[in-house]
Amino acid sequence: MERRKRQCEDSYYEFLKDAFAETHPGKVFVDNWHIRFLCDLLQGEVERVGRGEKKIHDIIINIPPRSLKSFTATVAIGPWAWIKWSHLKFISSSHSADLSIEHNVITRNIIATDWYRDNWGSKVNVLSGEDTKGDFKFAEGGGKRATSVKGGISGSGGDIIAADDLLNPRKSASDVERKEAINHFDKTLSTRLDHPETGLFIIIEHRLHDEDLTGHLLKKDSSRYIHICIPAEMSEDIKPVYLREFYENGLFFPSRFPIKYLNRQQVTLGTSGYQGQYNQTPAAAGGNMILNKWFGRFNLSDLPKFIPWNFVIDGAYTEKKTNSASVLLCYTMHHYDLYIKDIASIWMAQPDFLRFIKEFAYRNGYNRRSRIYIEPKANGISTAQTLRRYTKLNIILDKPPTVDKISRVNATLPFMEARRVYLLEGASWIESFLYETGMFPNIKQNGQVDCLCMAADKVSNPKTSVKFKYYDLSQSYS
C-alpha cells in the first residue's frame, strides 16, 4: 500500500488509473499511449506551477471524444496536484453549466473517496461553508470552481484554468456560438490567472470549425502554445509529429476505436462532423460537402474562340481583412457545363472596388454578350446602380437569396457531383478555391463558395441559365 501510494504521488499517470477505478466502479480502464503522454505533459506543467516557475507555453489539446481527455485534463489533475500543493486553485469551464458542474462533482468525489482520504486526507481540508457542486475551497487556500461560456466568474482567480469544450459540437456551425466561446476565453478566462507569468491555461476541444477557439488562438500567436493534435486516423495533422510512431495500422486507439467503429461514426456524424470530432480537422481530406475531386480542368483552347464570359460578384465592400473578402468569379457555359476562368478575392473600399470590377471584367474578355451579376446584399444595390450609371457594363442585380448558405450549396451539389464544373488549368487561384470549398461549411471566409453557387445555379437551372450564341466578337467594346 505504501509503495503504491508513493507511485501515485510521483506519477500523475499512476494516480489517474487509481482515481478512475475509484470513481468508475465496475468499468475497465482501457489504457493507450496517449494517456501516459498527456499525463506526463500535464504533470510537468503542474509541477512547474507548483514551484512558481515562469511558463514558456500554455497547452492546446485536440483529441477525439471518449478518449479520457476531460478526466485527464480537467477532472483528476487537481486532486493529484493538491497532494503536494494544496494551495493551488483550479478553474474549469465548458460550453454548458451542467457539463462544468458534472466535471467539478467528479473532482470533488475523488477527494471524498476512502482511498484519497486514507492516503492524502490531511493535505486537503474542505471548508464547510465553501463546499458546493460548482465551487469548493480548502483551508490551505486551494480549491476548484466551475463556470461556463454563459456563466460569470467575477472576483475569482486561479493558478490553472481548463477550457474544456467551450464550443458545443452540435452548434459549431453557428457564428454566434463560436464568437461566444472565443469571447468567453479572450475576455473572461484570459484575465483570471492569479499569476499570469506562472499560471497555466489548458484548452481541450475537438476541431469543429476553422474559426473555433483553437483556430482563433493559433492564428493570434501559435508560438504561445504547445499544440497537441491527436486524430483518430493517421494524417498530416498529428502534432507533435513524432507521435505518428505510436499509431497502429493507421489508428491512434485501435482497441477503443477500431476502423469499423470509426466508419459507423462517419455515417452517423456525416463527413464534416466526423472529421472535426475524430480527425481534428475542420475539413475532410478532399472536402467536406464539396469534394475536390469533382472539379475538372480545362484549357482555353478547349472552348470556342469567341465564347462569352460572364461574371458573378459577392461583394463585402470593405478594406478590413478581418471582415469577409469581396469575391469576383468569371465563368462561361459550354454544353451546359460550367467553366471557371478567374476568381479574385479582395478587400477594398467601395470606390476602389468599383474600379476593380471594370478592370477584372475587361481583362477576362468582357464583351457585349457578357453579363455581370451582383448579389443584392450589403452595398450591392448601390454598386449596381453606380456601375450602370458610369460604365457601359451589362450589370444585372441578381435575385436575393431566400435560403441559408448550406441550403444553397445543397441545391447545386448534384450539378457539382456530376463533375460538370471545370477550373482553368494552372490558375493561381485554384489552391485557395479548393481549400475554401473543401472547408465549407467550417470556414468563415466563404465568398468563393457563394460565387460558385451563383454561377452553378445559372448554368444548371433552365430558368436562370443564359442561352449563349456564338458570334464573331473579335472587335473590342468599351
pLDDT reported for residue 471: 36
pLDDT reported for residue 462: 56
Q: How much is the mean pLDDT over the chain?
A: 90
Euclidean distance between CA atoms 395 and 219, whole angstroms:
38
Q: Which three cell numbers stand for residue 325?
A: 473578402
Q: Which three cell numbers stand for residue 358?
A: 471594370
Euclidean distance between CA atoms 302 and 289, whole angstroms:
29
Query: Helix/strand/coil (H, E, C) string of the chain?
Result: CHHHHHHHHHCHHHHHHHHHHHHCCCCCCCCCHHHHHHHHHHHHHHHHHHHCCCCCCEEEEECCCCCCHHHHHHHCHHHHHHHHCCCCEEEEEECCHHHHHHHHHHHHHHHHCHHHHHHHHHHCCEEEEEECCCEEEECCCCEEEEEECCCCCCCCCECEEEEECCCCHHHCCCHHHHHHHHHHHHHHHHHCECCCCCCEEEEEECCCCCCCHHHHHHHHHHHHEEEEECCCECCCCCECHHHHHHCECCECCCCCCCHHHHHHHHHHHHHHHHHHHCCCCCCCCCCCCCCHHHEEEECHHHCCCCCCCEEEEECCCCCCCCCCCEEEEEEEEECCEEEEEEEEEECCCHHHHHHHHHHHHHHCCCCCCCCEEECCCCCHHHHHHHHHHHCCCCEEECCCCCCCHHHHHHHHHHHHHCCCEEEECCCCCHHHHHHHHHHCCCCCCCHHHHHHHHHHHHHHCCCCCCCCCCCCCCCCCC
Q: Is 242 exposed, middle or buried (0-12, 13-18, 19+ CB in 10 A)?
A: exposed
Distance of CA 67 to CAs 8, 35, 414, Å? 21, 8, 37
Euclidean distance between CA atoms 361 and 437, whole angstroms:
23
Over range 385-410, report the average pLDDT.
Answer: 88
pLDDT reported for residue 469: 41
Nearest to 338 by CA among 469, 465, 472, 471: 465
Over range 256-275, report the average pLDDT.
Answer: 87
Euclidean distance between CA atoms 253 and 33, whole angstroms:
8
pLDDT reported for residue 444: 78
pLDDT digit string (tens) for 14-59? 999 999 999 999 999 999 999 999 999 999 999 999 999 999 999 9
Prediction pTM value: 0.71
Nearest to 116 by CA among 71, 144, 76, 87: 76
Distance of alpha carbon 392 from the chain centroid: 43
Residue 478: which pLDDT band, with cuts at 50, 70 and 90? very low
Residue 178: which pLDDT band, with cuts at 50, 70 and 90? very high
Domains and CATH numbers, the chain: 2-277 (3.40.50.300), 292-460 (3.30.420.240)
pLDDT digit string (tens) for 153-162? 877 899 999 9
pLDDT of 274 higher than 90: no
Nearest to 371 by CA among 454, 428, 474: 454
pLDDT of 325 higher than 50: yes
pLDDT reported for residue 473: 35
Strand order in the sheet with 295-298: 295-298, 421-424, 337-346, 326-334, 310-314, 372-374, 395-397
Residue 323: which pLDDT band, with cuts at 50, 70 and 90? low
Q: Which three cell numbers stand for residue 422?
A: 471545370
pLDDT reported for residue 310: 97
Residue 405: which pLDDT band, with cuts at 50, 70 and 90? confident
Percentage of residues in the chain having pLDDT higher than 70: 94
Distance of CA 183 to CAs 177, 188, 189, 285, 393, Å? 10, 7, 9, 30, 44
Nearest to 374 by CA among 360, 384, 361: 384
Count other Cβ atoms within 10 Å, centred on residue 266: 17
Percentage of residues in the chain having pLDDT higher than 90: 72
pLDDT of 472 higher than 60: no
pLDDT digit string (tens) for 72-81? 999 999 999 9
Q: Is 446 left (phi over 0), alpha (psi -120 to 50) or beta?
A: alpha
pLDDT digit string (tens) for 212-254? 999 999 999 999 999 999 999 999 899 999 999 999 999 999 9
Q: Are 290 and 409 in contact (CB under 8 A)?
A: yes
If one compares 276 and 173, the residue with the highest pLDDT of the two is 276
Dihedral angle sign, alpha carbons of residues 76, 80, 81, 86: positive
pLDDT reported for residue 154: 75
Residue 465: which pLDDT band, with cuts at 50, 70 and 90? very low
Over range 330-351, report the average pLDDT.
Answer: 93
pLDDT digit string (tens) for 95-150? 999 999 999 999 999 999 999 999 999 989 999 888 889 999 999 999 999 999 98
pLDDT reported for residue 285: 67
pLDDT reported for residue 282: 82
Residue 317: which pLDDT band, with cuts at 50, 70 and 90? low
